[in-house]
Structure 1
């Protein structure tokens, strides 16, 4: 039997991931077996276990392929150098638009918000938490840059603002997953939501207050991951307990 080329191996892997996405979207993550995923792809049980250790491994691979690729985040960092607040608004708008423009992204969001039950271990939830951490830290860095450029209040509580923006964006994505199927394209309201998200950051309720407990101290795990070094060498972010600093 001839050895498969690297291209053929990659094609097989991608076909299995396509099948897994469909099966998870139809039945949830917990219920279907990997054998069913292999059958959907027209392959054997051995084929899928030749590429993935378990269901969590499959889910992680789907995350790598679909969940906001690294190149999007790097582009976000580069564009944020001159207009960080505008870039943050565009980021929110882009995330919401991708929900409509990319069918696999739409299915993935439906899985996360509507069909992602526990699967007997915490691997899947931990991966989602790590992805959310990384995104929030990039958003937080843009807020820090916006403060430095005078686009956001100097006394903005970055901990509260990061949590608030993350909660808003997650809530919006979940709400989009609950829309009727007839709503299959974004309208001008997408831009309005992006503007509303950044307007939130000017709220008096998100300002620092003397003696308040930093949110980062209450939720240390949320900020356990640091983003890679920013493209703009004039901005360096280091995170310590209870605060964030630019150097």
Structure 2
């Protein structure tokens, strides 16, 4: 159960978690806040190309999500063990908020890259952001749930992510239609 996972992650018994907190959702939300507070976000205003910031952010978050640690454990609970129910609604909203924050970060960096001429002016930035997030989700799933990248996983994951960033420059399918 989610509470057993939370207790294990905290290094205490499940009974201790229940005994200390009246509301298990509050415990889960506190663990989310603690784990998500550890997520490192590169400086968006750094004087480096926006695509480099996207690469650093994507790879950094990928490592935090796929390597053992509190972020990985909390995400596993939110995505694999949290049922869609009224009781879990606050957790589902927290998960959605994390996804939206990532999406907005990606949109800002893609827009910045377009403004700086790193990406085509006709790029459909919303579709490009969804594409990049979907690619990232796929790489994350591959790292977490399969053995496909077992040989040199981080180098290969970065190469795939770089290929996705490169496709933002060159894919005609990510461009807005001619006006």
TM-score over 0.5 (shorter chain): yes
Partner secondary structure for residue 153 of structure 1: coil
- Flag as ranges the 4+ runs of structure 1 deviating above 6 A: none
Structure 1 partner of 2:21 = 48
Going from structure 1 to structure 2, the CA distance change for 1:69 and 1:200 (only over 3 Å counts) comes to farther
Going from structure 1 to structure 2, the CA distance change for 1:93 and 1:55 (only over 3 Å counts) comes to same
Alignment deviations for residues 106-148 of structure 1 (CA, whole Å, 9 cap, x no partner): 3233323332322434222111111111111111111111111
Partner secondary structure for residue 113 of structure 1: helix
Alignment deviations for residues 87-112 of structure 1 (CA, whole Å, 9 cap, x no partner): 11122111222234442233233323
Counterparts of 1:38 and 1:92 in 2: how far apart (Å)? 29
Going from structure 1 to structure 2, the CA distance change for 1:186 and 1:99 (only over 3 Å counts) comes to farther
CA drift of 1:19 comes to: 6.2
* Residue 88 of structure 2 corresponds to residue 115 of structure 1: no
Give the counterpart of 2:123 among 127, 150, 156. Answer: 156
Q: Do the aligned partners of 2:51 and 2:110 also contact (CA within 8 Å) in 1?
A: yes
Gaps of 5+ in 1: 1-16, 24-36, 212-247
Superposed counterparts of 1:179-194, under 5 Å: 179=146, 183=150, 186-194=153-161
Aligned pair count reads 174
Structure 2 partner of 1:209 = 177
Using the size of structure 1 for normalisation, the TM-score is 0.59
* Residue 132 of structure 2 corresponds to residue 165 of structure 1: yes
Partner secondary structure for residue 76 of structure 1: coil
Going from structure 1 to structure 2, the CA distance change for 1:85 and 1:137 (only over 3 Å counts) comes to same
CA RMSD, Structure 1 to Structure 2 (Å)? 3.2
Structure 1 partner of 2:32 = 63
Structure 1 partner of 2:162 = 195
Partner secondary structure for residue 77 of structure 1: coil
Structure 1 partner of 2:62 = 96
Structure with greater Cα Rg: 1
Using the size of structure 2 for normalisation, the TM-score is 0.78
